[in-house]
Structure 1
């Protein structure tokens, strides 16, 4: 192919991957003009025009509009700027498609009505401010007048969903379910009932207190990880590493109630940990038989969906924790190994 050679419109179409009618259209639209005409009056194209036709074909396949293409070919914009702009458009379309996919999957799974389909579309199209308002409305109603320790509802309110800029389909589906739940009067009433019953008195009120909450979600988290790291490393519960980790944890836990760690307290805590598996089993049975709102269907479901939306790592299954190993490490009176 010579730089100076001219080619009839059929050859230009074949070499650029366009149809003859498309090449003729782009010439008539002033996008890519022919290099000239032959003696018979037929349009002729040089190598430069054919290269521009190839670029036009590529950009049109990317859904770039003709005005943007015209500006590029006339030197009004650069290819880099054009492609950058188009990338932003494609990424926006991708977000819309992910949202639509999430809506469709949810509709198929739930067998929803047209009204619900419209609602789901609105949910995934919300702005960040609108999503914040939905969650605030939920906690304003759930937390109003609850007889729980001061600051507990505010701590719960801070554990809220933050949909990322590029959410996955699973995150969008979780948001649809969560937004639907928090807007439901029955769900709000169930969460309120569960929180009131669980944290308004007795041990639950202690757990909801500021000191315990700070330990549970602050320093205590790191201390628990130290204990579990020793277990996962295959340490004996009486090894120096395990003993140091579990002692630090028990000292922190004791300090929550202003107590000092003594051998007697160690033994009581050890016995408590030995009983945890049986306690969890009884709780599961009671929840299954309960006619009252339970954690897994109320605040637990809220927290589970928030975790999915925020991309948090799944929480460790409480039943899978090494309670017997921890109990042995906690117990006083046994020698510490190497």
Structure 2
């Protein structure tokens, strides 16, 4: 290539509409190779450098980092992967911004007294929030030595996922849920208090008791009851209740009999509850996705109703 066809760094910058400093920056990082050097040591670029510099500018306009721009310049087929990765990053950033917006609206739309408590709740969470504290709560709450696959299935049902575009009410519900599970976890005593000291009878180490059998059966019973809840059916006898009772009976190595159902009703009535958790989880998931807590209450009500009608 003749020297007449080469461009100086100033000429290249002028044609591309950038500064000399910009051309030097990309050259020093290997994105814009020089064709030659003049006798005085000045950079010279071939005509193709102008198209390459314009491509670099276009990629940088998309806010791609310089190393990612280098990947695209080296391999044209890398553009699809780079764009997909950038879209994922932007999605995470947008979700974080939406959570910050919801948090700001929470602080805007409340009384001065409420603002102090809401600031405390919001300050304890990341944006977007993590479900790690909720998962830890359930791992401590569940009986020990459950199969890992079963624990994962329970967590999937019990831990609500933060919405990508939360309303202020959902942001407040998640903040309160995060606060609820962040205390000492030995169980919970009632619906309104935080974490307490008791745990269900089924979680205690009783000889011959099989908690894995119980939770496998409860998952099926809750799914059946959720269908009734979505259809707004009142608690009633049927497949869901039979599955629920059978899970408890099989875990204890006994049979489902009327006497066992009466005993089970009493055991469940005496168990500690985590109503506050399920209330806040329901505020996040909405009525179209009944929580396991709502399904459990429906099944208990169906059991108590059956026992009362049988006694009558």
User: TM-score when scaled to structure 2?
Assistant: 0.47
Structure with more contact order per residue of length (Cα contacts < 8 Å, sep ≥ 6): 1
User: TM-score when scaled to structure 1?
Assistant: 0.44
Point out the structure with max Rg over C-alpha: 1
